Chain A
Amino acid sequence: MSAATPASQRSLAEHFVEVRQQEEARTIGMWVYLGTEILLFGGIFGAWAVYRYQHGEAWREAAHHMDLWLGAINTAVLLLSSLTMALAVHAAHALQKKWTLLFVLATVSLGTLFLGIKAYEYMQEIHHGLAPFAAPIPVRQAFTPATELYMNLYFAATGLHAFHLISAIALLGGFILWILKSGLSADRAATLEILGLFWHLVDVVWIILYPMLYLTR
């Protein structure tokens, strides 16, 4: 998976016997953690699937409240960020500091752009009275229970996703500062690869959320 830098350049923690074992341990560890994240969102995905079945027509109607274009643009933005993330990892393993910084910065920027578009979308929805918790009582009474649940789950799911994206941006921001302060090394390239896995997970979650919330109309 990450054979770009020779093992001799890596440092080895004393409880490991060889670098390969250490790398594999870290990678498995991150994958197991990503598994827990999938289960975290899985609670919402599962609930959503059941309610889509229960409230078929009403939920199809509700999906029309979503702004298809903003969602599509955001999907493109996030997919692009996964590309720059992968390029950053590639550059880091080749120990190209400049390119690494550039691609990580691009990833962070795209992530921030996503959040900006999402914030605009939230504001529009609140403005149009689509957020049950923020809507005045008369607007709220117009909701059918099924639509209300749809919108609530939408805000819970995308909010949780946005929180993950903010964490991922913070981690990558910290990585940029770290590299600027004390340079790039083979060990840090390995760290970036692990951070990259988390970034891709956040991306993958959105790739499930987008068709689930926007396209099932």
Chain B
Amino acid sequence: MTTAHPQAGAHGPPGPAESNYLTDGTGLKSWLFTTDHKRIAILYLFSITFFFFLGGIAALMIRLELLTPIGDLMESDTYNRMFTIHGVIMVWFFLVPSIPTVMGNFLVPLMLGAKDLAFPKLNLASWWVFMIGGLLTFFVILLGGVDTGWTFYTPFSSTYANSAVTLMATAIFIAGFSSIFTGINFIVSIHKLRAPGMTWFKMPLFLWAIYATSLIIVLATPVLSIALLLIAVERVFGIGVFDPALGGDPLLYQHLFWFYSHPAVYIMILPGLGVVSELIACFSRKPIFGYKAVAFASMGIALVGFLVWGHHMFVSGQSVYASQVFAFLSILVAIPSAIKIFNWTATLYKGSIGFETPMLYALGFIGLFLFGGLTGLFLATIAIDVHVHDTYFIIGHFHYIMVGGMVTAYMGAIHFWWPKATGKLYPEWAGKISALTIFLGFNLTFFPHFVVGYLGMPRRYHEYPPEFQIFNVLSTAGSTILAVGYLFPLVYLAWAYKFGKPAPSNPWHATGLEWQTPSPPPKHNFHEIPVVTEKPYAYTAPEEEDKS
């Protein structure tokens, strides 16, 4: 593999002579008020890492309480607040922003061959708004949290809940603007800032996934905003839209909430699918199989994802005919998802597969996403859903997608683009150990949920019948392994940033414009705007690489 770079200095040792985005400007102010998309990505990285571990602590508390069938660690009310904190933080302050705001902010302009996103100030504003929402949520947690669950079902949330619901809803409302700003920025950048020659079908699949995600963000988030706004209006002014006692309709809330929150699941998973497409192609040394099918599958998931929200309401009293349509459409989502899985496996076929850390995450992702997706088919089927509704089966299903899928893809992305972002290599052995630890810990934590859920253990209770204890002990044991798996990268990545070996500009011999600029990239990304002539994923067989 030749590393032919048009830029000067890429061949020589990456010495400190050249300034990059990390060194260009020092001091706290140069970071907090930066409009450089790469620095904003780093700001987001620190912020969401904080929220991830905050939500993780809540998760560990839940798991510790469930170690025994009786409520010994906390009371039911504390437990309610704990799982609400876990849900709210993880959904809105980690999963929704995760890959878009960290990897997307960093990579979208680089992959497009642009100097920045279309609206750099809006991008900075999105981080500030995110932090205002996040810190307000943190403040609500310090006040004692909220006991409604992350779904804020009415009329409990709008009338009866005796906690800081309005404040928490406000915080999430504010964070919604951050999502919308990011979504607008990505859509406009992908439309208007593609480098010469970068046609839509030469874009990396990560960009297609981010584009589909952004469309969902801008179309779904406002509906969450209106739902939360109406809750606040009902609590503060007594204008009852949801509470039957005030003339409202609680089912309306569920419709509005899931009209956002089901597409939000795709906001969370689509960027992960995009990352995995990049990783699979790179570490199989093959062009991705069926590029257009994978690209359109992202758009298909985004489209159909808007038409399935009613599958959360099979037992809520919506019309049975509506339920049947929603069930059918929900099952339809399996098709574009399966297209992706089949195309990845076809890409792996006869590939020259390398098992570097990012690839371990990508392969883990395929398995876990498949498992989460297939159990999703169970849940889309009305008869089974009625049986397992609000049980641990659901918890198992969406954690396989959200944690097994999205967090795994996020970790893979962090490891894949870490050398590009920091200019340092992390120790490969440490990366591999943590990837395997996470995979094992994850399965031990969440696989028992399917079993215990199918047997009938309901979610959101701090006590349970003693016969379920063995599964809960397994799960709690797994969660501690998982915690170690997530903490370890903090250690070795921090070590690598300080003491790691300098990274070349293209350590994985990957295609894509982001690898054609030095590591770390200079402030304006490219010394000269690249011109794209090759197809994406123009990987060559390794024999040919050896020759060069």
Which A-B residue pairs are the 7 nearest by beta carbons?
A148-B247, A43-B226, A40-B222, A15-B115, A39-B222, A133-B238, A15-B116
Question: Which residues of chain A are near B193, meaning CB under 8 Å?
Answer: 15-16, 21, 25
A33's closest neighbor in chain B, by CB?
B184
A selection of 25 A-B contacts at a CB cut-off of 8 Å is: A15-B115, A15-B118, A16-B193, A21-B192, A25-B189, A25-B191, A28-B187, A29-B119, A29-B188, A35-B219, A36-B184, A37-B222, A39-B219, A39-B223, A40-B222, A42-B222, A43-B226, A51-B249, A132-B240, A133-B237, A145-B244, A148-B240, A148-B247, A156-B230, A156-B241
Chain B binding surface, main DSSP class:
helix
Report if A149 contacts B (CB, 8 A). yes
A149 touches B184 (CB 8 A): no
Q: How far is the CA of A33 from the CA of B217 in the complex (A)?
A: 11
A155 touches B239 (CB 8 A): yes
A43 touches B256 (CB 8 A): yes
Question: Which residues of chain B are near A37, meaning CB under 8 Å?
Answer: 222
Report if B246 contacts A (CB, 8 A). yes
A152 touches B241 (CB 8 A): yes
A15 touches B238 (CB 8 A): no
15 more A-B residue pairs beyond the given contacts A15-B193, A145-B247, A149-B247, with a C-beta to C-beta distance below 8 A: A15-B109, A15-B524, A21-B192, A28-B187, A32-B187, A35-B219, A36-B184, A37-B222, A39-B220, A40-B225, A42-B223, A133-B239, A133-B240, A149-B248, A152-B248
Q: Which of A14, A21, A43, A133 is B246 in contact with, Cβ under 8 Å?
A: A133
Distance in angstroms from A130 CB to nearest chain B CB is 12
Chain B residues packing against A (C-beta within 8 Å) = 109, 114-120, 122, 180, 183-185, 187-189, 191-193, 218-223, 225-227, 229-230, 233, 237-241, 244, 246-249, 252, 255-256, 259, 524, 529
Chain A binding surface, main DSSP class:
helix
A36 touches B192 (CB 8 A): no
B227 touches A43 (CB 8 A): yes
Q: How far is the CA of A133 from the CA of B544 in the complex (A)?
A: 76
A40 touches B239 (CB 8 A): no
Report if A68 contacts B (CB, 8 A). no
Distance in angstroms from B106 CB to nearest chain A CB is 15
Report if A142 contacts B (CB, 8 A). no
Question: Which residues of chain B are near A67, meaning CB under 8 Å?
Answer: none
Chain A, residues 1-17, CB within 8 Å of chain B (1/0): the string is 00000000000011111
Question: Which residues of chain B are near A159, meaning CB under 8 Å?
Answer: 233, 239
Q: How far is the CA of A178 from the CA of B402 in the complex (A)?
A: 47
Q: How far is the CA of A51 from the CA of B117 in the complex (A)?
A: 42
Distance in angstroms from B474 CB to nearest chain A CB is 42
Report if A44 contacts B (CB, 8 A). yes
Question: Which residues of chain B are near A13, meaning CB under 8 Å?
Answer: 120
Q: How far is the CA of A16 from the CA of B193 in the complex (A)?
A: 8
A29's closest neighbor in chain B, by CB?
B188
Q: Which of B109, B183, B223, B247 is A132 in contact with, Cβ under 8 Å?
A: B247
Q: How far is the CA of A25 from the CA of B186 in the complex (A)?
A: 11
B120 touches A15 (CB 8 A): yes
B180 touches A36 (CB 8 A): yes
A150's closest neighbor in chain B, by CB?
B247
Distance in angstroms from B481 CB to nearest chain A CB is 41
Question: Which residues of chain B are near A21, meaning CB under 8 Å?
Answer: 192-193
Q: Which of A32, A47, A156 is B184 in contact with, Cβ under 8 Å?
A: A32
Q: How far is the CA of A37 from the CA of B184 in the complex (A)?
A: 13
Distance in angstroms from B249 CB to nearest chain A CB is 6
B191's closest neighbor in chain A, by CB?
A28
Question: Which residues of chain B are near A41, meaning CB under 8 Å?
Answer: 226
Question: Which residues of chain B are near A99, meaning CB under 8 Å?
Answer: none
Distance in angstroms from A195 CB to nearest chain B CB is 15
A25 touches B248 (CB 8 A): no
Report if A207 contacts B (CB, 8 A). no
Distance in angstroms from A159 CB to nearest chain B CB is 8
Distance in angstroms from A44 CB to nearest chain B CB is 7
Question: Which residues of chain B are near A14, meaning CB under 8 Å?
Answer: 115, 524
Question: Which residues of chain B are near A47, meaning CB under 8 Å?
Answer: 241, 252, 255-256
B191 touches A148 (CB 8 A): no
Report if A143 contacts B (CB, 8 A). yes
Distance in angstroms from A118 CB to nearest chain B CB is 16
Report if A162 contacts B (CB, 8 A). no
Contact flag A148-B187 (CB < 8 Å), given A25-B192, A36-B221, A156-B230: no
Question: Which residues of chain A are near B119, meaning CB under 8 Å?
Answer: 25, 29
Question: Which residues of chain A are near B244, meaning CB under 8 Å?
Answer: 145
A148's closest neighbor in chain B, by CB?
B247
Question: Which residues of chain B are near A153, meaning CB under 8 Å?
Answer: 241
Q: How far is the CA of A21 from the CA of B194 in the complex (A)?
A: 11
Distance in angstroms from A47 CB to nearest chain B CB is 5
Q: How far is the CA of A14 from the CA of B120 in the complex (A)?
A: 11
Interface residues of A in 39-69 (CB under 8 A from B): 39-44, 47, 51
Distance in angstroms from A24 CB to nearest chain B CB is 6
Distance in angstroms from A148 CB to nearest chain B CB is 3
Q: How far is the CA of A35 from the CA of B216 in the complex (A)?
A: 12
A28 touches B192 (CB 8 A): yes
Distance in angstroms from B407 CB to nearest chain A CB is 27
Interface residues of A in 95-128 (CB under 8 A from B): none
